[in-house]
Structure 1
């Protein structure tokens, strides 16, 4: 290696400083947080705090009151449709079990209250991987379809629950 005016002349001897590496990591993290903000939409700050708690505590268990109180509605609102459908079917079947079914239903609500943020984080992270290479306009279309919330799904689920309840009551 030669020096000319105090500078190294070989091109392959550059090692980034730890400060630069930390800056690069922070910048990448900031870009990812921007993508998450765009994707999540309403209550982004709430979910970012929950995701950070999960990272720091190394546990996916964080409490979510709406996920506990209105489990299938919260799941549908956050576009976790498969989860919502499974819970709705289980809830419907539990109606035939009487008090024991109510106890199981409470257990399911507690489980989703504790794990709902982890379910949602997994959903968000899977979609963030899909949008990383998209242009802004493409990302906006993708996010409108897959991200944010869906209040229409909540109303549809409420209507379906009313119909199912009416059908069950006519059978009894």
Structure 2
């Protein structure tokens, strides 16, 4: 005969001899066979319910962890798959640094992961060119582009210059997003390296520093626009003054 609580064989006088059982050393009394069967069935049902609940919890916990891990992987893939190397950049860091219109660049990163192509098309860069580079704080590329434009205007002929500038504008537009995201990677990595540790307080300071160093700048393109207008006005004034000093047309008798 078995103990209805632990399913182990009973000893003499129906005493439970299982040390693990809570009824160890206690005489198990059965009034009738039906009562014994009921106790046995209840114990088995409780055990099944407990096992089912435990398995359900473990499955739910595993499923939750899996979903959480999958979400984190997707969140990381939006940036980490593009920024390959030892220094991983989270979505929060990149969003903080980019500032305005960050979702546009995440869509571009998604296209890179799908098509494995770094080329794209940036309409603001096509129309604004150097002004867009300055707006996104790409000061060195903007300075190089302005220098090339100025030098080519002095070296090349008018038609050749226009064709060259158009081709240069198209090339810069195609790789504008890639150039900007590489700029973001370098700046974020440099700022992160300058901070020895990132505690909770330092992390908020780190995000503020990313926001300050990144983002956009209206002052730089406005300054370039003002300089361009002033240079154009000065050029027109000099041209008009040169034309006014040119010798006029006199009759033939004047030179006799």
Shift of 1:112: 1.0
Q: For structure 2, list consecutive stretches of 5 or more residues without a partner in the other structure.
A: 1-64, 79-88, 193-197, 243-256
Secondary structure, counterpart of 1:135 in structure 2:
helix
**1:47 pairs with 90, 105, 113, which one?**
105
Using the size of structure 2 for normalisation, the TM-score is: 0.53
Change in 2 beyond 3 A, CA 1:47/1:27: closer
Alpha-carbon distance in 2 for matches of 1:95, 1:162:
17
1:152 aligns with 2:152: no
1:102 paired to 2:169: no
Alignment of 1:120-159 (within 5 A): 120-132=180-192, 133=198, 135-144=203-212, 146-159=213-226
* Higher RCO (CA 8 Å, separation ≥ 6 residues): 1
CA displacement 1:51-76 (0-9 Å, x = unmatched): 22123211110100111111100000
Change (3 A) 1:59 1:163: same
Between 91-100 and 37-46, report the one with greater CA deviation. 91-100
Larger radius of gyration: 2
**2-side partners of 1:28 and 1:47: how far apart?**
14
Q: Does the 8 A contact of 1:77 with 1:150 survive in 2?
A: yes
Provide the C-alpha distance between the structure 2 equivalents of 1:57 and 1:121, rounded to a whole number of angstroms: 17
Q: Deviations over 1:68-116 (max 9, x none)?
A: 1111000000000000011111112233331111111001110011000
Which position in structure 2 is the counterpart of 1:70?
128
Say which is worse superposed, 94-103 or 70-79, in terms of deviation. Answer: 94-103
The alignment's C-alpha RMSD in Å is: 2.6
TM-score (norm 1): 0.77
